[in-house]
Amino acid sequence: MNTKPCIGITIGDFNGVGPELILKTLSNKLIFNYCTPVVYGTSYILTHYSNLLEMPALDFNIVKSKEDIKEGRINLRVCSTERISITPGSPSLEAGLLAVAALELAVDDIKNGMLENLLTAPIDKATAAEAGLGFNGHTQYFARQFESDVQMILLNETLRVAMVTGHTALNQVSNELSTEKIAETIRTLHQNLQSDFGISKPKIAVLGVNPHGGDNGLMGDEEIEMISPAIKQLQDEGLLVIGPYSPDGFFGSANANNFDGIVGMYHDQVLIPFKQVAFSEGVNYTAGLPIIRTSPDHGTAYDIAGKGLVDSTSFINALYLINKVHRNRMAYYDTGTSKLPFKEHRREKFSIGVPDLR
């Protein structure tokens, strides 16, 4: 039984900042005190970027099975042997194909027991879809692969935000809202805050959808007809849920810092304020999976790809969140209350310190 978590790291779009994030993170040897990385990509891509960025070359241990994985080494699962054209900053179908290949191989390895945790570097949704991903991003892809009801949570040290509707066009948001859907989103966040973040009695804020919370129906009735009834229902169930708050006043007054979690009605409602305060350090976490999957809270950043300018803080935080969730889930499972199908061999002991690798 390993004493450190084995974490799969997919390379993402190799014309974006994914390779640079991986190189910067794994070039610090302290990282091996806390995990055993398995990178899904090719040595050619990583060597190309280490030369381009004038970084020291990394030593890769090529693995084909779980038995090949070595602690204290950068383990590499080769996803392609095709000749690759690297064009930093420019999307390409070739990059999309490799990004999808890395994801598919990592998922196969997870299902075969090779690893249980995954950190994904950013992909380009358009080229990944063209390459056959079949979903609008990572989150729904993993939901289908593991047949799970998932929830996307964006977080940093002080904020955890989720949303009722995700990648939904703004003109369709109201049509997708219902009392049942709002209540289920809040209930799911409550469970995830308990099982994955170790918060026994989460305090959750709920935002309205209209300006000024609808002003008692003057500017929309979603708060009256759907959001408030959902809140009342959950309060009757014993959950500590408060709202609906007017989003501008809620974030403008820093009230967000008083809550363990925040539920918005749509994507930009919570992600614009979140990224305003946490863009360089925030983490995207996919809750509800039987594995632990994280990613940085930004995209491919084509404008700075290959220039040595990317800030790796979010990527490093995403890696260490895996350790934290492991510990919290282990404690939660011991109570017998979690619904996720964890295996017995997940109950491992991990280091709890998180060094500053910046």
pLDDT at res. 274: 93
Please, which pLDDT band fits residue 56 given cuts at 50, 70 and 90? confident
Taking all residues of the chain, what is their mean pLDDT, rounded to a whole number?
A: 89
Please, which pLDDT band fits residue 19 given cuts at 50, 70 and 90? very high
Express each pLDDT in 113-167 by its tens digit.
999 899 999 999 999 999 999 887 898 899 999 999 999 999 998 899 999 998 8
pLDDT at res. 291: 93
- Could you identify the residue written with the tokens 């809550």? 259
Containing H/E element for 74? strand 74-78
Regarding beta strands 292-296 and 74-78, do their DSSP bridges make them parallel or antiparallel, or are they unpaired?
unpaired
Please, which pLDDT band fits residue 332 given cuts at 50, 70 and 90? confident
Q: To the nearest 10°, report the CA torsion of 271, 132, 340, 283.
A: -30
- Hey, which CATH number is domain 158-280, 3.40.50.150, 2.30.33.40, 3.40.718.10, 3.40.50.1000? 3.40.718.10
pLDDT at res. 233: 97
Closest CA to 165 of 270, 71, 305: 270
Q: Is the pLDDT of residue 209 over 80?
A: yes
Please, which pLDDT band fits residue 336 given cuts at 50, 70 and 90? low
Give CATH 3.40.718.10 domain extents, the chain: 1-151+281-358, 158-280
Distances (CA, A) of 207 to 165, 224, 252: 13, 12, 13
- By residue count, the chain amounts to 358
- Of the listed ranges 62-66, 149-153, 165-169, 194-198, the one predicted with least confidence: 165-169
Q: Mean pLDDT throughout 16-36?
A: 92
Express each pLDDT in 314-330 by its tens digit.
999 999 999 889 888 88
Q: What is the CA radius of gyration of the chain?
A: 21
For 23, other C-beta atoms within 10 Å of its C-beta total 22
Q: Is the pLDDT of residue 339 over 60?
A: no
Cis peptide before 202 (omega within 30 of 0): no
Residue 182 sits at the vertex; the CA angle it makes with 181 and 188, to the nearest 5 degrees, is 85
* Percent of all residues in the chain with a pLDDT value above 70, rounded to a whole number: 92
Strand order in the sheet with 6-10: 60-62, 74-78, 36-41, 6-10, 117-120, 292-296, 283-287, 151-155, 160-163, 261-264, 203-207, 240-245
Largest Cα–Cα separation, the chain: 64
Q: Is the pLDDT of residue 268 over 60?
A: yes
Q: Into which CATH architecture does domain 1-151+281-358 fall?
A: 3-Layer(aba) Sandwich (3.40)
Distances (CA, A) of 311 to 4, 30, 75, 108, 298: 25, 18, 23, 30, 10
pTM over 0.85: yes
Q: Is the pLDDT of residue 348 over 70?
A: no
Question: What is d(CA 199, CA 196) in angstroms, rounded to the nearest whole number?
Answer: 8
